Amino acid sequence: MTSVVTVDKNPVDSYLRVDRMPHIWCAGCGIGSAVSCFIKAINRAKLDADKIALVSGIGCAGRVAGYVRLDSFHTTHGRALPFATGLKLGNPKLKVVVFSGDGDLVAIGGNHLIHSARRNIDMTVICINNFNYGMTGGQLGPTTPLEARSSTSPYGNFDPPFNLPHLVSASGATYVARWTVIHLRQMERSIAEALVKPGFSFIEVLAPCPTLYGRMNKMGQGVIELRSYQERCVVRNGADPREADIGLSGPIVVGKFVDIDRPTFWDYYIKVFNKAQKKR
């Protein structure tokens, strides 16, 4: 069991494009921590990294594709999921991961989110939820809590947010979990589970945005936002996703909400395929 470290290299470096470090995310941004967890989860799940295809959209979380040393695609805003669907259906042996943000996956990409979950395409989606549109300066998004400040809700948000675990599980996802970047071990284990599980897996990761959302809501330093997660979060595995709303204050329910089995899109397609072969 002994292993000797001959080179002083961060173990995650083998999955990073080290020629592009340091990355562009702000000091204290939660995305880097989520990527770290993701890389560790790949090892935990013992995946063949050559077969992983990572697709991201536009936004801060969208930049993940550029920093991981995997076959990676930085696509257009909101369209990571259909692009990933094409990849998976084109080569079902690929392990497809979508890594993007709340605005990209839920606002402009909302239609694709519910349909991909409905189809139960075999892929893992990691949705970084920092409650705003970070890359463009901190505008409100479909997950911004009511009354929160943002650059387009200076008087407080009046646009009720989605409850993502509820939305995605109602659409048919077979694995739905929510963690924060302070729940490192659980998140790593959850991602590893999701990577290996067939079907549409969705993991919402609450992440601090100290520069924008945090600063505009009196959590100007990452540690303050992380401490707020520690205080407010309640781990309830198996909780009803309907109870997973997030407000500006009050408890945040995290955990693994849904872990069920359902035939994937490919399972259904194989049946059709066999039928068509017989009719030739």
Partner 1 sequence: MKLWRKPFDQEEKAVRPPRVIIDKDRCKGCEYCVEFCPTGALAMSQEANAKGYLLPRAADERKCVACGLCEAICPDFAIFVISANGEE
Partner 2 sequence: MSDDGILEGEFFMNGDEACAEGAISAGCRFFAGYPITPATEVAERMSVRLPQIGGVYVQMEDELASMNAVLGASWAGVKAMTSTSGPGFSLMMENLGLGAMLETPCVVVDVQRAGPSTGLPTLVGQGDMMQAKWGSHGVYELIAIVPSSPQEMFDLTITAFNLSEKYRVPVLVMADEVVGHMSEKVVMRQVAPKELVQRRRPTVPPEQYLPYEPDVDLVPAMAIAGEGYRFHVTGLTHDERGYPVMTAEAQDRLVRRLVDKIRVNRKDIIRLDEVETEDADVVVCAYGITARVARRAVQQARDEGIRAGLLRMVTVWPFAEDRIRELARQAKAFVVPEINYGQIVLEVERCAGGMAKTLLLPHMGGSVHQPETILEAIREVVQ
Sites of contact with partner 1 (CB under 8 A): 1-5, 8, 10-13, 16, 21-23, 25-33, 36-37, 40, 181-182, 184-185, 188, 210, 221-223, 226
Q: Kindly state whether residue 83 participates in binding partner 2, applying the rule CB under 8 A.
A: yes
Which of 94, 216, 233, 258 binds partner 2 (CB under 8 A)? It is 94
The torsion angle over the Cα atoms of residues 151, 156, 160 and 163, rounded to 10 degrees, is 70
Length of the chain: 280
Do 218 and 249 form a contact (C-beta atoms < 8 A)? no
Which of 9, 10, 21, 91 binds partner 2 (CB under 8 A)? It is 91
Segment 96-125, which members bind partner 2 (CB under 8 A)?
A: 111-112, 115
Q: Kindly state whether residue 85 participates in binding partner 2, applying the rule CB under 8 A.
A: yes
Which of 82, 156, 198, 251 binds partner 2 (CB under 8 A)? It is 82
The listed partner (partner 2, partner 1, none) that binds 93, CB under 5 to 8 Å by sort, is partner 2
Please give the Cα distance from 218 to 65 (Å, whole number). 31
| Contact code string over 18-57 relative to partner 2, x by CB under 8 A | --x----------------------------xxx-x-x--
Nearest approach, Cβ of 113 to partner 2 (angstroms)? 10
Q: Kindly state whether residue 276 participates in binding partner 2, applying the rule CB under 8 A.
A: yes
Q: Kindly state whether residue 136 participates in binding partner 2, applying the rule CB under 8 A.
A: no
The listed partner (partner 1, partner 2, none) that binds 21, CB under 5 to 8 Å by sort, is partner 1
Nearest approach, Cβ of 185 to partner 1 (angstroms)? 8
Amino acid found at 135: M
Rule CB under 8 A: which residues touch partner 2?
17, 20, 49-51, 53, 55, 65-66, 69-76, 78-79, 81-91, 93-94, 111-112, 115, 265, 269, 272-273, 275-277, 279-280
